[in-house]
């Protein structure tokens, strides 16, 4: 399996940049969520961000919240997340990053979680509610296992916070394009461009922009200044309304934004 960093570097050499797609495990059901994730890669997505449903998703917008709540109502268990990673990585050659809030990892056991994720073929974690200052256990576990660790920055982050986050991250730094919860927006906030510039000034190896990206034009715009574009709510909405076929069609459309016009 190729690493997150190597995929992003390769896609920036051969195309406009990397496309990262988010979908939650277990929505609308477990098997369909695996098929949808595979369809992402088969239609041009370079890296999968696989969300673990959680009862208090503070960063997620209404589309993702509704999907993860349905997955929880269906009986999602943390073990399902590892099984999903295992099935996906057995079928496609693309890194799978798990997006998870920190409490489930803490309750499961940080070292146990890291070991099980490695065994499943996972590439690392995106942890939206964990800051590097409070991540000593995860930093140690990821160093031991070689897992990537993606921390978030926002337009309000101080220069010191950005530097600290860059130093702690591996794979890429997640640049939140606008303040607030996730969800497709007509325009990606101009603050994202400034934030990515600050990340580059802090020598981030890669900055990927998420929150609010939903069209190939927005992907192309973001890849004009960042190394990757992250799409979530639009893909979840496509899955909810049109199933795996809808996800495949939207992924193919979004991937056009990584290629020259």
If one counts every other C-beta atom within 10 angstroms of the C-beta of residue 118, the result is 18
Q: How far from the centroid of its chain's Cα atoms is residue 183's Cα? A: 14
The answer to whether 42 is a known catalytic residue is no
Strands (E), the chain: 18-24, 47-51, 96-99, 124-126, 148-150, 152-153, 173-176, 207-210, 228-231
Q: At what angle do helices 110-120 and 78-91 cross, to 10 degrees?
A: 30
Q: Using the 8-state DSSP alphabet, how is residue 258 labeled?
A: G
Catalytic residue among 46, 60, 116, 237: 60
Buried b (16+ CB within 10 A) or exposed e, 44-69: bbbbbbbbbbbeebebbbebbbebbb
For residue 95 the two structure tokens come to 């890194």
Strands (E), 52-118: 96-99
Give catalytic status of residue 60 as yes or no.
yes
Q: Residue 3: exposed, middle, or buried by beta-carbon count in 10 A (0-12, 13-18, 19+)?
A: middle
Note whether 196 and 223 are within 8 A (CB). no
Local structure of residue 121 (DSSP, 8 states):
T
Given the residues 35, 46, 49, 227, the one annotated as active site: 49
Classify residue 256 by its DSSP letter. G
- Residue numbers annotated as active site: 49, 60
């Amino acid at each position: 399996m190729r690493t997150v960093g190597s995929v992003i570097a390769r896609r920036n050499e051969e195309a406009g940049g990397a496309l990262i797609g988010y979908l939650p495990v277990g929505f609308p059901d477990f098997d369909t969520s695996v098929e949808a994730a595979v369809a992402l890669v088969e239609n041009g997505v370079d890296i999968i961000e696989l969300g673990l449903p959680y009862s208090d998703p503070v960063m997620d917008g209404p589309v993702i919240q509704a999907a993860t709540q349905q997955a929880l109502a269906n009986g999602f268990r943390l073990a399902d997340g590892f099984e999903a990673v295992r099935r996906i990585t057995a079928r496609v050659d693309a890194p799978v990053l798990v997006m998870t809030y920190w409490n489930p990892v803490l309750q499961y056991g940080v070292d146990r979680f890291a070991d099980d994720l490695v065994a499943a073929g996972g590439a690392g974690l995106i942890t939206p509610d964990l800051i590097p200052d409070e991540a000593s256990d995860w930093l140690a576990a990821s160093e031991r296992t070689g897992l990537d660790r993606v921390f978030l920055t926002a337009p309000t982050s101080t220069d010191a916070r950005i530097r600290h986050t860059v130093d702690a991250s591996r794979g890429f730094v997640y640049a939140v394009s606008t303040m607030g919860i996730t969800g497709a927006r007509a325009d990606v906030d101009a603050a994202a461009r400034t934030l990515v510039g600050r990340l580059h000034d802090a020598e981030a190896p890669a900055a990927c922009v998420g929150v609010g990206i939903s069209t190939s034009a927005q992907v192309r715009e973001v890849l004009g200044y960042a190394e990757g574009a992250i799409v979530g709510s639009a893909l979840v909405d496509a899955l909810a309304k049109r199933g795996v076929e809808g996800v495949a069609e939207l992924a193919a459309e979004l991937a056009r934004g990584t290629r020259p016009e």
